[in-house]
Amino acid sequence: MSKTHHHKSKRKKLSTKYNIQKKVREHKRRLKKEAKKMGVKKGRKKDPGIPNSWPFKAQMLQELEVKKEKKEKEIQQKRQDAKQKNETDRQLHEEEKRAANKEREAARRRKRLEQIEQSRLDHLRLVITRADVLLQVLDARDPQGCRCAAVEAYAQENGRKIIFVLTKADLVAPQAVAQWIKALGSEAPTVAVQAEAGREGIRELLAMLGRTPPHKGKDAPAADAAVVSPAQAVAAFGFPNTGKKALCRALRQEFRAPAKWLLEMIGRLQPGVNAASSSPATLHLVVRGAAPAGLLASGGATAAADALDEDTEEPKAEPFFAAADAEPLPLAVVKLLLERVDTASLMRRFRLPSFDGAEGFLRSFAKDRNITSKRGKEAALEIIARRFLAELPVTPGVCCAPFQVPRPGAAVLWPPHGTAVPMLEAAMRSQVEALAAREAGPLAGALVVPSVGMGPEVDISALLTEAVDDGDNDEAMDDESDDEDEEEEEEDGESDGEGAESSGDMDDEA
C-alpha cells in the first residue's frame, strides 16, 4: 500500500491577508518618512535622450535649447514685472497714506486754529465786558501803533477805566519813555514798566489800581491806596508780542498775595489780514522786533510766517508779502522807512556813506556788510532788504517819536477815574521825573522813526452783539425757569385743595 502525502494548503483567511497588506503599507510608509527626513530622494529614471540614429538630431537639440532659453527669459521677465508691480503698488500705497495723513493733519490743524480763534474771541469778549479796569498793554518802542481805537471807544461809551501800560521800557531810552508818558498821559493814565527786568514800575501800577502790596518797613506808604478805590476786576489786553502775559505774571509776583481781582483771561487783539499785510503795519512790527520769520528769512520764500506769539504760542497766520503785481513787501517797508526817517541819522546809525534812493542805500548796506549771493555775485535787493530789516531792531535799536500835538478828543478816558485823577497824575509826574534824570546809555543812539499812527482796526461789534445775545438768552432762561416754578406751585396748590375736599367728604360720610 502506497503512502499518501497531504500537502498543506496555501490558502489564508482574508483577515490575515488584509493584515499583511496593512503591515506592508505601514512599513513602506515608515521607509518613505525616514528617507524624507534624511533627504534621500527617489531615483528618477534617466532620460535616455535622443538616439544618435535619430535624423536631424543636431537641429532638434538646437530648437530645444532655443525653447529653453526663451522659456527662461519669459520666467525672468515675469519675475521682473511682478517685482516692479509690487514696488509701484508699494509706492502708490505710501503716497496715498502720506496724502491721507497730510490731509488729516491739515484738518486737525484747521480745527485747532478754529478752536484757538474761538477761545481768543471768547476771552476778549469776557475781558471787555466784565473788567472794570482795562490795562491796555503797549510796546514802549511804538505805543501809538499798539493802541486799539475800537476798545477805547467802547470804554468811553460805557464808562470803563483804561490805563496805558508801556511794557519793555528797558529797550528804549528813559527820556523817550518819559516823553511818551507825557503824550499819552493827556488822554489816559499811563505808566511804564519793566515786567522782566526787575519789575520796575509794577508797584506804581498796583498803586494806580488801589492794590498796593503790603510793606514790611515802618515807613510804608499807605496814602496812595487810600486815595484810589481798589479795583475789583482788572484785565490786560493788547496786540500780539506786547508782553501781556509777562505783565500779569509780574503783577501777581509783586502783589505777594492771591490776586483774585486780576482776571486769568487775557484779551488778545488780532488785526485783520488786509491791515496786517500793509507796509505801515509791517514797519510797526519791524520797529517792535516782532517781524515774523517769513519776512526776515533769507531764502525769499513767499509762504506765511511760522513765528509764534510769545503770549499765546499761536501761529500768527498773517501774509507778509504784497500782491503779485506789486513789489516785494520788504522793499516796500524799506522805502517807507527811508521816507519817514532822517537820512543823516540813518547814515550815522549804520555807519554808511551817502546814498541815493532806496536801491543805493541797500547796495551801500550790502557792500558794508559783504552780502553776496551763493555764487559771489551781487545779492538781490529783496534779500538785502530782509537782512537790513532783521538788523534794524538790534541794540541800540529803533523807536518811535511821540506825537507833539494832542489828538482831537484827547482826555476822554480820564473822567471814569473820578476822584483818583490827582493821585494818578502825581504818580505819572513822579515817574517822568525819575526817567528824565537817568542816563540814556547805549540806547541814546537808537534810530527815531515817526509813529505810523493808531494800531490796526479791530471789529469788536460782533463780539459785543454776541455778548448782548448771551445776556438776553440768560434772562429768557431765568424767566422760563420762574414761570415753570410758578406753574408747579399752582399745581401743588390745586392738588392740596382737592386733597382737602376729599378728606372733608370722607369725614362727612363717617
Task: Give the contacts of 284 (CB within 8 A, at least 6 positions apart).
Answer: 142, 145, 452, 455
Determine the pLDDT at residue 196.
Answer: 80
Determine the pLDDT at residue 478.
Answer: 46
Q: Tell me if residue 76 falls in helix, strand or coil.
A: helix
Determine the pLDDT at residue 49.
Answer: 80
**Which string of DSSP letters, residue by residue, matches 374-403?**
TTSSBPPHHHHHHHHHHHTTSTT-EEEEPP
Q: Bridge partners of 134?
A: 162, 235
Confirm if 131 and 234 have CB atoms less than 8 A apart. yes
Determine the pLDDT at residue 75.
Answer: 95
Cis before 396? omega within 30: yes
- Residue 447's H or E segment, with its range, is strand 447-450
User: Distance between CA 210 and CA 225 in Å, rounded?
Assistant: 5
Q: Considering the entire predicted model, what is its pTM?
A: 0.70
Ordered per-residue pLDDT tens for the chain, 510 residues: 566 667 788 888 999 999 999 999 999 999 999 988 888 877 777 777 888 888 888 888 899 999 999 999 999 999 999 999 999 999 999 999 999 999 999 999 999 999 998 899 899 999 998 999 999 999 999 999 999 989 999 998 888 999 999 999 999 999 999 999 999 999 999 999 998 877 899 999 999 999 887 665 544 444 444 467 899 999 999 999 999 999 999 999 999 888 999 999 999 998 876 665 788 888 888 999 888 777 766 543 333 333 334 444 444 433 334 444 468 889 999 999 999 998 898 898 888 999 988 999 999 999 999 999 888 888 999 999 999 998 998 878 899 988 776 665 555 789 999 899 999 999 999 999 999 999 888 888 889 998 878 888 888 877 777 655 555 444 444 444 455 545 544 544 444 444 444 444 444 443
Determine the pLDDT at residue 273.
Answer: 62
Determine the pLDDT at residue 50.
Answer: 80
Residue 218 gets which letter from DSSP?
Answer: S
Determine the pLDDT at residue 141.
Answer: 94
Confirm if 325 and 434 have CB atoms less than 8 A apart. no
- Residue 152's H or E segment, with its range, is helix 149-158
Determine the pLDDT at residue 304.
Answer: 35
Task: Give the contacts of 431 (CB within 8 A, at least 6 positions apart).
Answer: 178, 181, 191, 192, 201, 204
